[in-house]
Every structure is written in C-alpha cells, then in structure tokens.
Structure 1
C-alpha cells in the first residue's frame, strides 16, 4: 500500500501459546512504504511473510521479553542471516533493556556469543523514548507488567494507534492513549490482576483516554474474542472490536 494510511494487520494474538489457527502476539503496522513488525510472538514470522519479507521491514518493536511476544526473534535471526534473505543492513530492533544479550543467550550454549548485531541493530527502550521510522513516529511509555515492559503510540498522517503490550491498567498507558484513533489493548484475564487488563478494564482505559475506537487483543482462553469485546463495551461507549487474526484494520 502506498496511500499513506496507517494500517494494523493482526498476525496473531493468542496467549500464552499459539492456537491451531492463531499465533501468539504479533502485528504489522504500515504507512505508505514503512513496515514495522510489532511484537514477534511464537508463530508470527510465518504470517508476517504474507505481507513483508524480513528484508522489507523498516523496524521491529518488542514490548517485553516474554516468549509469547518475542520468541520468533530467534527464528528471524536465522532467516535474516542464513537463508534466502539478503539484508542491506541489520534490521532496526527496538526492545527492552538487555534484549540483545537475552537473544544471544538463547541462540548459543557456548562461550562464543551469537552475532546478534549482524541481524539486528538494537536500540533499548526507556520510558518516553521517541523514534521516527520512515513515515511513522513512535512514542514509548513504561507500563506495569512486573518486568521491563512498554506500550507504544504510533502516528502517521494525523492518525494514531496505541498498543498496550502486556500491562495492568496504569496512568502511563492512559496518558499515552489520550485522544488516539485506535487503542489496541490486551484483555488477558477475567479477574483482577496486577500485570494484565480484564476486558472491562480495557474498556475503562479506552474511556479514560477518550480513544476513538477500542480493539481488544491478547484475550485469555477463559473468554472468546466476542465475549471479551462485549464485556469491554459495557465500559466504553465507542466502537469496540476484537483483534481477528489475518485482519487488516485501516486507521
């Protein structure tokens, strides 16, 4: 697509392990020719290739280092260096502190460190980190997930998408999502949690932020996607949808 619209494609949103027809958390966000892989959960590299090769990505952005959001970085490393991909330069990788050493530790059990930097040009995230990737501006905030974890606001052409990553409701997420066009918010748990949203809390966050639209994602297995969206809609008067794997949303 080259019309400049901001688009969100759901590669997968299952938790904590892939479903038969739904990989773990992963999204492709595009605007014009800019392509960003947002979270690389288990199984998402496969559907990513329906839309972009690894050497066509402008960046990868990782919310936190749990496997259901980051595991496919390991296979992406092999794909980028040892298969049919020819990188002109390492892929820009934005992720939590320590992400490079974490990947290197998984990839080798010897004293020789895996050459992570041959595949990825790593930038460690921090609260209020800002970056421009092609036509998309990214603003990151630290969120509450019991570990280093981040949410991101992605803006292009006057439109904005906020992705919660994994987090309990928190002031940083609400502030980041203020007046956004779309809030893509996790709804992992049925009861309260200090590291996740319920579907109702996702609705509360969208309402507090005055988001234009809410898309619930990362729905735990105790609820169907439709049930989670219905529960969120009891707390948010705007449009509510659920992240449907393979679907592209125009923002």
Structure 2
C-alpha cells in the first residue's frame, strides 16, 4: 500500500458548509491512521473507510478544531455499532483522555478503554504500525502541540499540525515528498508566533527542501487561493491547496 493522504477537513477555527475542521486519513504500509479529529471529520472519515478498522488515531493538539470529533468517534465505537475488534491506539497529548471523559461527566478515564487506548505523545515519540512509521516533534503553539512525520516504503509525508515558526518544524519536514502545512493567519500581530502565515509555510518548505507544499488550515482572514499563492512565492517549489475529498498518493 503506497503512502497516501485523504483530506477530510481543512477549516479553522470552526467548520463551514462542506468544509469540516482539520482532519486527514493517512494510509500506507498496511496501516490506516486518522490524523486530527477536527469538528465534522468523523462523518467524512466514513466516506473513505470503516472507522472500526483504523490502525490508530493521531492528534496533534487538543484545540477543538483538531480534536472535537473524538467525541463522535467515542460514541460510535462505544454505543453506535462501530465497535473495533480491539481498542484503537490514540496518540495524543497527555490530557486527552481526561478531557474526553470530563466532557461526558465521567471521572474515570478508563471507561472507554475497551474501544480507545490512549497513549501520550512526546517529542521524538516514534511508533511503527505495519510498515508505516510515525514520528512526533514538539512544535511551538499556545498549548502542547506536535507535528508528524510519516514514512513508508521510502516515501515521506510531514504535517505541521498548528505551529509557529520553529526549528523543529523545519527538521520535521526535511526532504519530505509532501509537506502538509497550515497557513492560518494573514500576519503576525503583537508578537504572536503560534501560527504560520503563508510566507512562513513557504519558507519552511524551502528550508526543509520538500518536494511539494500542500497548504491547509487557512483561517478566516484569508482565502485558500490567496494563502496558497503567497506560500508558493516563498516556497519556490510546487505548492497546492488541500481540498476536502481529495487524495494524494506519494
């Protein structure tokens, strides 16, 4: 199975008609991984695979536009007839299980242990599922956050999650075949460095020597087309827009 990426959602900070928040289906090396569970992405995930067959779930950080649909998945797995044959590993920041349980009025984080197996991320956390290798790097944000490097059969996909400019992001994306990168904001204001402008995304892509930049998670002050065009100038290499329903095969 070649490494591929299906776009489930790209919106920031809330979903719109036909445009869920951040979420992606990563396939490769015999594995299927739901990367980020932004609002609306669980429904889109079901267009492309049976969620009960997921190999793993990977969450970059716990802001709602990247994680809220874990609630929908938990209900589907526990009560909705989509129970997986074994608990699905969920790689996420430390507090993920507690937050999900608290939202549902539960004090015991183990109540979903028969369907979800929460495993905390940390910088340089590496795991292999079949022939797919996943590596997390801690990136700069206003909460605990990670970017992802996925490798399978000689192909590399890098994903920024939400991040400000930082060396770890460039290292994460080094020589990637495809760099899926946020371009959330139009400009940095008042010293804010927890998101990327299109120019930031392009500069990281250029410095990392990626083959192609795929712009995602564009916020309400920009259009996707404008963000992609600006990123392309800074990147100096093929640059495209992530759009819901599309699949990229590396």
Answer yes or no: is the 8 Å Cα contact 1:5–1:31 preserved in 2: yes
Counterpart CA distance in 2 for 1:113 and 1:162 is 31
Structure 1: any 5+ residue segments left out of the alignment? none
Query: 1:53 offset after TM fit, Å?
Result: 1.5
Counterpart CA distance in 1 for 2:141 and 2:7 is 22
Answer yes or no: is the 8 Å Cα contact 1:58–1:134 preserved in 2: no
Deviations 1:199-218 (A, max 9, x none): 11100000010111000100
Corresponding residue of 1:209: 208
Answer yes or no: is the 8 Å Cα contact 2:232–2:239 preserved in 1: yes
Q: Does residue 181 of structure 1 match 2:177? A: yes
Deviations 1:219-248 (A, max 9, x none): 011211111110001111110001111100
Counterpart CA distance in 2 for 1:113 and 1:94 is 15
Of 123-132 and 84-93, deviating more is 84-93
Corresponding residue of 1:26: 23
Answer yes or no: is the 8 Å Cα contact 2:90–2:119 preserved in 1: yes
Give the number of aligned pairs: 247
TM-score using structure 1 length? 0.95
Corresponding residue of 1:82: 79
Counterpart CA distance in 2 for 1:112 and 1:124 is 17
Counterpart CA distance in 2 for 1:106 and 1:134 is 33
Answer yes or no: is the 8 Å Cα contact 2:10–2:218 preserved in 1: yes
Structure-2 change in CA distance of 1:200 and 1:112 (3 Å) = closer
Counterpart CA distance in 2 for 1:20 and 1:154 is 30
Query: 1:119 offset after TM fit, Å?
Result: 2.0
Answer yes or no: is the 8 Å Cα contact 2:56–2:89 preserved in 1: yes
- Structure 2 residue matching 1:49: 3-state secondary structure: helix
Counterpart CA distance in 2 for 1:156 and 1:112 is 37
Counterpart CA distance in 2 for 1:29 and 1:57 is 10
Q: CA RMSD in A?
A: 1.2
TM-score using structure 2 length? 0.96
- Structure 1 residue matching 2:19: 3-state secondary structure: coil
Counterpart CA distance in 1 for 2:217 and 2:109 is 33
Corresponding residue of 2:196: 197
Matches within 5 A, 1:112-151: 115-151=111-147
Counterpart CA distance in 2 for 1:191 and 1:182 is 24
Of residues 52, 57, 62 in structure 1, which corresponds to 2:54? 57
Structure 2: any 5+ residue segments left out of the alignment? none
Corresponding residue of 1:13: 10
Corresponding residue of 1:231: 230
Answer yes or no: is the 8 Å Cα contact 1:107–1:114 preserved in 2: no
- Structure 1 residue matching 2:231: 3-state secondary structure: helix
Counterpart CA distance in 1 for 2:164 and 2:114 is 35
Q: Does residue 71 of structure 1 match 2:68? A: yes
Answer yes or no: is the 8 Å Cα contact 2:101–2:108 preserved in 1: no
- Structure 1 residue matching 2:47: 3-state secondary structure: coil
- Structure 1 residue matching 2:103: 3-state secondary structure: helix
